[in-house]
Amino acid sequence: MTLKVIGILASPRVNGNSDLLLRQALAGAESAGAQVEYLRLIDFEIAPCIECNCCYKTGRCVVEDDYHIVSAKMLDADRLIFATPIFFMAVSAQAKAFIDRCQCLWAHKYVLKNTAAGRDRRAMVIAVGGSKSKKMFECVRLTMKYFFDAIDMNYAANLFVNKIENIGQIKEHPSAMKEAFALGQKLADPDSEPPEKPLDIELT
């Protein structure tokens, strides 16, 4: 069984630290036999949610832009790797705009009572921050927990790396690059059991 793995980069910076880790994770998934696709949110026009609640009746967002392209690819995938830098202790603006637009998927599941029951879909998050705060990733954990639930994906793993600021600095953190590859490989293993709780790896 060939799994489809999609990697979504929510950083506005190409070849930045979260980007490099995402590419490593996708390389790991590909080495496990998965079919991988890499997307950057900055390449798409995705407007903020306008909170019109039309999706409560249809399960579909009425704002016509590139959100529908990205979400269709995400929903078709068996696995998702979502990568974001940390801005002001939260996900990036690009990440938040896309996640907020997935309110229609929450409505599809919880208001209209439609679920993807029986399909094994899993997701992991990669996040990189530059602060010394020990609470750097708390907001990310909570946001991604509810995001993955709305899109019917099992929250499989976190890779959080702190005290990384300069572009490309992650290359000097070989254990982070190694962990990204291994997590991507594990995520794409069709014979692995869904985790009961996310595997949590936090590096400094």
Whole-number Å distance between alpha carbons of 7 and 25: 8
pLDDT band at 109 (very low <50, low <70, confident <90, very high): very high
Element (H, E) at 55: helix 55-58
**Model confidence over 82-96: pLDDT tens digits?**
999 999 989 999 999
d(Cα 189, Cα 2) in Å, to the nearest integer? 9
Res. 127: pLDDT tops 80: yes
Residue 100, pLDDT score? 97
Of residues 191 and 8, more confidence is placed in 8
Amino acid symbol at 32: A
**CB 148: neighbour CB atoms within 10 A?**
21
Q: Which CATH superfamily is domain 4-203 in?
A: Flavodoxin domain (3.40.50.360)
Short-list 154, 160, 204, CA closest to 180: 160
In angstroms, rounded to a whole number, what is the distance separating the alpha carbons of residues 182 and 9?
Answer: 18
Question: What residue type is 192 in one-letter code?
Answer: S
**DSSP three-state, residue 141:** helix
Closest of 51, 65, 164, 156 to residue 106, by C-alpha: 51
